[in-house]
Chain A
Amino acid sequence: MPSHASQAQRLQVLLDLNILDTAPDECFDRITRMAARLFQVPMAFVSLVDADRLWFKSRVGFPYAEAPSARSFCAHAIRQDEVLVVCDAAADEHFATSPYVRGYPHVRFYAGQPLAVDGVYIGTLCLVDSVAREFGDEERALLRDLASMVANEVAAGALREAERRLRCSEASLRALLDHLPDSVLLLDAEGAVVSCNPAAEHLFGQEAAALAGRQAAALLGLAAGALAPAGGAAAARIESVLARGDGNVSVEAALSTLEIDGRPHLLASIRDVSAQRAALEASRAAEQRRRDFFRSATHELRTPMTSILGFSDLLIKRDFDPATGRELLGIVHKQSTRLVAVINQMLDLARIEAGDAEELNRSRVVPEAMLAAALAAAVPPGRSADIAVDAAPSLPPVLGNEERLRQALGNLVANALQFSAPGQRVDIGLAPAQRDGRAGLALHVRDRGIGMTPAQQAQMFDAFYRAGEQPGHEGAGLGLALVREILAAHGGAIEVASRPGAGTSVTLWLPAAAEQA
Chain B
Amino acid sequence: MSKRILVVDDQADLRLLIRLSLRALGQVEQAASAEEALCLIGAAPPDLVVLDVWLGQGQNGMDLCRTLRAGPLTSKLPIVLLSANGQSSDIAAGLAAGADDYIVKPFSPDTLAATAARLLAR
Contacts and interface: CB of A to CB of B under 8 A. Distances in A.
A170 B66 CA distance: 68
Contacts of A334: 13
B10 A302 contact: no
Given A299-B54, A302-B84, A307-B17, 8 more contacts: A295-B85, A305-B105, A306-B84, A306-B105, A309-B108, A310-B108, A314-B109, A335-B13
Contacts of A307: 13-14, 17
Please list the 5 inter-chain residue pairs (A to B) with the smallest Cβ-Cβ separation, ordered nearest first: A302-B84, A306-B106, A306-B105, A299-B84, A310-B17
Contacts of A305: 105-106
A48 B69 CA distance: 100
Interface in A205-256: none
Interface in A293-341: 295, 298-299, 301-303, 305-311, 313-314, 317, 331, 334-335
Contact of B107 (A301, A310, A466): A310
26 contacts: A295-B85, A298-B84, A298-B85, A299-B54, A299-B85, A303-B11, A303-B54, A303-B105, A305-B106, A306-B14, A306-B106, A307-B17, A309-B106, A310-B107, A313-B109, A313-B110, A314-B17, A314-B20, A314-B109, A317-B109, A317-B110, A331-B13, A331-B16, A335-B13, A468-B57, A469-B56
Nearest to B87: A298
B61 to A, nearest CB: 12
Interface residues of B, number: 19
Contacts of B74: none
Interface in A61-116: none
Which residue, of A313, A331, A334, A468, has the highest number of chain B Cβ atoms within 10 A? A313
Interface residues of A, number: 22
B121 to A, nearest CB: 22
A389 B13 CA distance: 37
B109 A303 contact: no
Secondary structure call for the A interface: helix
Interface string B98-122: 0000000111111000000000000
A306 B85 contact: no
A229 B9 CA distance: 63
A469 B13 CA distance: 14
Nearest to B52: A303
A358 B106 CA distance: 35
Contact of A469 (B10, B16, B84, B108): B10
A266 B17 CA distance: 72
Given A310-B109, A313-B109, A303 B84 contact: yes
A298 B57 CA distance: 17
A208 B110 CA distance: 78
Contacts of A331: 13, 16
Interface string B1-29: 00000000011011011001100000000
A308, A310, A311: most-surrounded residue (chain B CB, <10 A)? A310
Contacts of B85: 295, 298-299
A310 B84 contact: no
Contacts of A309: 106, 108
Nearest to B90: A295
A275 B43 CA distance: 54
B29 to A, nearest CB: 19
Contacts of B57: 468-469
A466 B10 CA distance: 14
Interface in A386-411: none
A121 B108 CA distance: 107
A302 B84 CA distance: 6
